[in-house]
Amino acid sequence: MRTKSITIKDVAKKAGVSIATVSRYMNNPSSVKGKNRVKLEQIVKDLNYKPLLYARRLAGGKMNTYGLIIPGYEDIFYSFYALETIRGVAAALNKRGVDLHLHIAGSKDSYNSSLVEGIIFADVIENMEQLRRLARENVPIVVINKKIEDIDVSYVAIDNFKGGYDATEFLIQHGHRDIVHLAGDLRVQCAMERLEGYKAALAKAGLPYKEELVKIINFSDRETRIALEEMFELRKFPSSIFCCSDKVAREVLIFAEEKGIKIPDDLSIIGFDDNQLMSYGHYMLTTVRQPLIEMAEEGVKMLMEIVNGKMKKKCGVMLKPEVIVRDTVSFYKKS
């Protein structure tokens, strides 16, 4: 037999107070003084009363839940970026006693903002209209991993231009001139900015930009393999490769081992992410660390300030990446 759910009326009746008093207590216990607060604390505990989220929303109370919207791209749950972002946001919210509502954005804008007090967008790829719609609804929003300039929302992003520049400059400083860039999906801001950083580092060093050295592989292992096979067959293998992600760099390392290409003697590789799985083993990958956990923490902190009315104006924060030197880049001496 199904047990009858405890309602706010049941609590009010047992405590001998009004429904409004119970509502005030549930939203902010300190707003109810003296004996009534002590009485309500005990009765709520005895009855195991938990108000419905929608009821609390309608009563003007806090739901204590933030949303995290991630674009639903291919292999999302194999993505270092996605997993680190979810982990970082969840940990930051848990530390503050806030629940997480995770949503994978699809082709339809079906997100119900009444479920949450505020929303973190983990990048915006093909769901820009969803962001615009929720911004028009005045939902507290923070976008992470993307700099937003044309919508009145705050953001926390990583300086991907600097990351691309520093990675390329590091290879140039090690004597490399023939540098291939395996670029990500250029619809994504981070991929485009890493490419622009690559171009800028070449220009600063007085090196020509060659379109044939840039392969758009869309963060895909399969497309990475195709690009590598083409270079190998044409005997135009470079001395170094700047990869758009550590996952792509891993595919290059596998390909090199299959073909007998020695790392780093024959080929130097630098990745982007600092996936800890690539920091030990046969090859310890030189890479660019992007501070994903710090970005998630800053995003949660910023959203909480917006929700609590402490931040009134749009705010933008840029975090700096860092080159992490390991074993896959060597000084290149042209024979």
Rg (CA), the chain: 26
**Is domain 160-290 classified as CATH 3.40.50.2300?**
yes
Q: Given this model, what pLDDT does residue 108 score? A: 80
State the DSSP H helix or E strand holding residue 316, giving kind and residue range, or none if neither.
Answer: strand 316-319
Q: How far apart are CA 304 and CA 123, in angstroms?
A: 18
What tokens appear for 190 in the block?
Answer: 């981070």
State the DSSP H helix or E strand holding residue 20, giving kind and residue range, or none if neither.
Answer: helix 19-27
**Would you state the CATH architecture of domain 65-159+292-320?**
3-Layer(aba) Sandwich (3.40)
For residue 66, the SS3 value is: strand
Length of the chain: 335
Torsion of CA 258, 264, 266, 268, to 10 degrees: 100
Does the fold of domain 160-290 match that of domain 65-159+292-320?
Answer: yes
| pTM for this prediction | 0.80
Third-level CATH fold of 8-58: 434 Repressor (Amino-terminal Domain) (1.10.260)
- DSSP class of 278: G
Q: Given this model, what pLDDT does residue 22 score? A: 86
- pLDDT below 50 — which residues of the chain? 1-3, 58
Q: How far apart are CA 269 and CA 250, in angstroms?
A: 10
Domain range list for the chain: 8-58, 65-159+292-320, 160-290
Write down the H helix ranges in 126-244. Answer: 128-136, 160-173, 189-204, 221-233
Q: Given this model, what pLDDT does residue 48 score? A: 82
Q: How far apart are CA 123 and CA 188, in angstroms?
A: 9
